[in-house]
Chains A and B, each alone.
Chain A
Amino acid sequence: MEQNNRLINLENISKEFDGTVVLSDINLYIRKNEFLTLLGPSGCGKTTTLRIIGGFEYPTTGRVIFDGKDITADPPYKRRVNTVFQKYALFPHLNVADNIAFGLKIAKMPKKDITQKVGKMLELVNLQGYEKRSVESLSGGQQQRVAIARALVNEPEVLLLDEPLGALDLKLRKGMQLELKRMQQALGITFVFVTHDQEEALTMSDTIVIMKDGRIRQIGTPKHIYDEPKDAFIANFIGESNIIRGTMPKDEVVHFCGMDFTCVDFGFEKDEPVDVLIRPEDIHIVGTDASQLTGVVRSVLFKGVHYEMIIDAGGFNWKVHSTVMAPEGSRVGLSIVPFNIHVMRLQKDALPEEAAP
């Protein structure tokens, strides 16, 4: 990656609140025009990371570099970034137009230009004619659009979004996901998006940063993270998965459920214990004669596009997605192609976690 393409660099950032470590040793760069998502369960430090970029928190150690300049100590109003806040934080005493114009007025822009820019922004977010409306009279989705317009009108180089879709219902959320992606591409600016919703992250992002317990666990494109999760936590967090303990007797062979399977992974020590990930849609139901594993169907759920079946085979309850249904109680065979068997090194911190009740 060329150095000059990096707009924001977080260098060795850590953050403590009253002695509790919430971020440790965060190193991350964000490229120009990139849609980057910080993804993780609540309390993983994703919002704190965003707030450090925005200038609302200051890191305990480390530096924030913006366009080659150290901005670690700059207050929010001196940074060329704008934020869309959780629950929008619109100013209730101002109408839609005044909310959007807030930043422009501070910048002392001429009135004519303000009106014109506000109009343009309302067009961008599909709220033409709402200028004089009170923000409290708007629906959640509309407030969301005003919040986005209020941030974007200042033409920031980076837009920070802190779980902006969390308060919307499912259908609106899907619509806004597409719209946000469209805006980001149309405006050509960098979006840093925080969410705990893996599906949202997969849909919109160019890059996903997975965080847990104040650390970055994996950085990659959605496809890369889905296909090659680094460990069981990430595999579980992104998409649905079957994760089973196994060993690596040798390269490209993995042993689980009492059998050896051919796989494509290598570079492990002999008989190293590993986590094996197989996605539910990668398990094929075949006749019992042609299969690698045989088992009994325990339950069947219709999920709209596919059936979700729990199949007890080889001492493990496999979650299988298939468009073909096998009736409950029937004996079926399962087959997995080597390419879809994904072997992961054990997480260092996974063992005590699993030992806990």
Chain B
Amino acid sequence: MMGMNMPQWGVWAMALGLGVFLVMLFSSVRRHHGVHRSLFSWPYSLWMIVFTVIPLFLVAYYAFTNKAGQFTMENFANFWDSNREMKMQLSGMGFDPAAMGMGARGTVNVDTLVYSLWMAFLCTIICFAVGYPAALFMADRDFKLGPILIVLFIIPMWMNFLLRTIAWMSLLEDNGLINTLLQQFGFKKLKLMYNSEAVLLGMVYNYLPFMVFPIYNALSRQDKKLSEAAMDLGANKVRTFARVTFPLSLPGIVSGITMVFMPSVTTFFIPRVLGGGNTEMFGDLIERTFLTADNWNVGSALSLIMMLLILLSITLLRKVDPEGEGGSLL
């Protein structure tokens, strides 16, 4: 059903990849008169070209073409105005969409994006506000249980995240544990599920360890002598924290923020389970556009926009922490 001239693209891309691979292989063998260790990475390079680079080019290809395979920017226009296609169809049939009260711009896509960014932002803030003190308390050298507790923070992540999210359902449902308890004590049932708050709760629950772990790492690696030196120089506890401990934990914070914000923006399961249909996020929109609406071109455009946003935020965060030394999981 896609454009007929499409296969050539793929064949060309693959031929190009293979060509580059062979040229590099040949020049490497020639230059080193035999086996050089850098050759060991060629299978991986080939794998990544075929299964990462080419697929990305495919996404880009669909994003910039229409169903007939011709170059177009229409998909991005459709992102901006979700009613655009319908309006064009109407005017194609001789109707005036404006006269029918349908001239306005369809804002669904942009709204979803803004909503996703807002939710991810809130989630990151909450994770930071909850996670930083936790990391700080655990990183205290005098607290012997710290290293054990941090493992306890990681363990839940080893459980399937869908199941973890579903577990919240049984707590929040109308007939769930919380409401049952409330009723038993004579309170009214609360509407806990199928709203933004529930989605936010699920996101914070899932991503909190991603915030705590890198901050803990950065804090516990800090030389205790530094804060002792600050106190020796006359800084009180608050100042020591503000001037020494906190600034030195910035790399951990940056990596925590990256690790929470990125999956938050792109999450697509949590809103569906805990938010019902009321809280569509950008990940859901992409999935729906591809699989339900079957519109690969607009879906690809949406994917590209999302990638762009992610790249942008990573670049911004890298500016704060150029070494990227926040430390990662494990």
A58 within 8 A of B: yes
- Total CB contacts across the A-B interface at under 8 A: 8
A-side contacts of B33, CB under 8 Å: 58, 73, 75
CB proximity to A under 8 Å, residues B31-63: 31-35
Cβ contacts under 8 Å, A75 to chain B: 33-35
Closest Cβ of chain A to B212, distance in Å, is 34
B32 proximity list for chain A (CB < 8 A)? 58
Q: Residues of A contacting B34 with CB < 8 Å?
A: 73, 75
**Cβ of A122 to closest chain B Cβ, rounded Å:** 32
Measured CA separation A166–B167 after assembly (Å): 62
Give chain A interface residues in 8-60, CB to chain B under 8 Å: 58
Residues facing A in B1-51 (CB within 8 A) are 31-35
| Cα of A58 to Cα of B32 in the assembled complex, Å | 7
How far apart are the CA atoms of A58 and B33 in the complex, in Å?
Answer: 8
Interface residues of A in 71-95 (CB under 8 A from B): 73, 75
Main secondary structure of the interface of B (DSSP, over half): loop
The interface residues of chain A lying within 8 Å CB-to-CB of B31 are: 58
Instruction: Mark each residue of chain B from 55 to 94: 1 if its CB lies under 8 Å from any CB of chain A, else 0.
Output: 0000000000000000000000000000000000000000
Closest to B34 in A: A75
Q: Which of A142-181 contact B (CB under 8 A)?
A: none
Q: In the bound complex, how far is the Cα of B35 from the Cα of A58, in angstroms?
A: 12
Interface residues on chain B, number (Cβ under 8 Å): 5
User: Which residues does chain B contribute within 8 Å of A58, judged by CB atoms?
Assistant: 31-33
User: What distance in Å separates the Cβ of B169 from its nearest Cβ neighbour in chain A?
Assistant: 50
A287 to chain B, nearest CB (A): 61
Smallest CB–CB gap between B282 and chain A, Å?
Answer: 43
**Closest A residue to B31 using CB positions:** A58
Contacts of A73 in B (CB 8 A): 33-34
Question: How distant is the Cα of A126 from the Cα of B32 in the complex, in angstroms?
Answer: 39
* Closest-CB distance, A73 to chain B (whole angstroms): 4
- Residue of chain B at shortest CB distance from A58: B33
B36 to chain A, nearest CB (A): 10
**Chain A residues closer than 8 Å to B35, beta-carbon distance:** 75
Residue of A nearest to B33 (CB): A73
- Report the bound CA distance from A73 to B31 in whole Å: 10
Q: How far is the CB of A182 from chain B (nearest CB, A)?
A: 37
CB distance from A78 to the nearest CB of B (A): 10
Give the docked Cα–Cα distance between A58 and B34 (Å).
11
Bound CA span A87–B49, Å: 38
CB distance from B157 to the nearest CB of A (A): 33
Nearest CB on B from A64, distance (A): 12
B314 CB to closest chain A CB (Å) equals 29
Q: How far does the alpha carbon of A75 sit from the alpha carbon of B32 in the complex, in Å? A: 9
Proximity string of chain A (117-141) to chain B, C-beta cutoff 8 Å, 1 when within and 0 when not: 0000000000000000000000000
Min CB distance B32 to A, Å, is: 7
Interface residues of B in 220-238 (CB under 8 A from A): none
Q: Tell me the smallest distance from the CB of B30 to a CB of chain A, in Å.
A: 10
A75→B33 CA distance, assembly (Å): 8
* A73 CA / B30 CA spacing, docked (Å): 11
For B35, give the chain A residue with the smallest CB separation. A75
Closest A residue to B32 by beta carbon equals A58
For the complex, what is the distance from the CA of A58 to the CA of B30, rounded to whole Å?
A: 11
Q: How far in angstroms is the closest Cβ of chain B from A47?
A: 18
**CA A191 to CA B226, docked complex, whole Å:** 50
Most buried by A among B31, B34, B35: B34
Query: Which residue of the partner chain B has the closest CB to A72?
Result: B33
Alpha-carbon separation in the docked complex, A161 to B314 (Å): 47
What is the chain B residue whose CB lies nearest that of A60? B31
The answer for the CA separation of A302 and B39 in the assembled complex, in Å, is 58
C-alpha gap A73/B35 in the complex (Å): 12
CA distance A185 to B75 in the complex (A): 80
**A48 CB, min distance to chain B CBs, angstroms:** 15
A75 to B35, CA, bound (A): 9
Chain B, Cβ-Cβ closest to A57: B32
Q: A26 CB to closest chain B CB, in angstroms?
A: 18
Query: Bound state CA distance, A58 and B28, in angstroms?
Result: 13
A73 to B33, CA, bound (A): 6
A203 to chain B, nearest CB (A): 37
Shortest C-beta distance, B136 to chain A (Å), equals 36
Which residues from 195 to 244 on chain A have a C-beta closer than 8 Å to any C-beta of chain B? none
What's the least CB distance linking A109 to chain B, in Å? 25
User: Can you list, as one digit per residue, whether each of B276-300 has a CB less than 8 Å from chain A (1) or not (0)?
Assistant: 0000000000000000000000000
Q: What would be 8 A-B contacts, judged by CB atoms less than 8 Å apart?
A: A58-B31, A58-B32, A58-B33, A73-B33, A73-B34, A75-B33, A75-B34, A75-B35
Please list the 8 inter-chain residue pairs (A to B) with the smallest Cβ-Cβ separation, ordered nearest first.
Answer: A73-B33, A58-B33, A75-B34, A58-B32, A75-B33, A73-B34, A75-B35, A58-B31
A residues bordering B, Cβ < 8 Å?
Answer: 58, 73, 75
Besides A58-B32, A73-B34, A75-B33, 5 new A-B residue pairs in contact (Cβ under 8 A), listed by A number: A58-B31, A58-B33, A73-B33, A75-B34, A75-B35
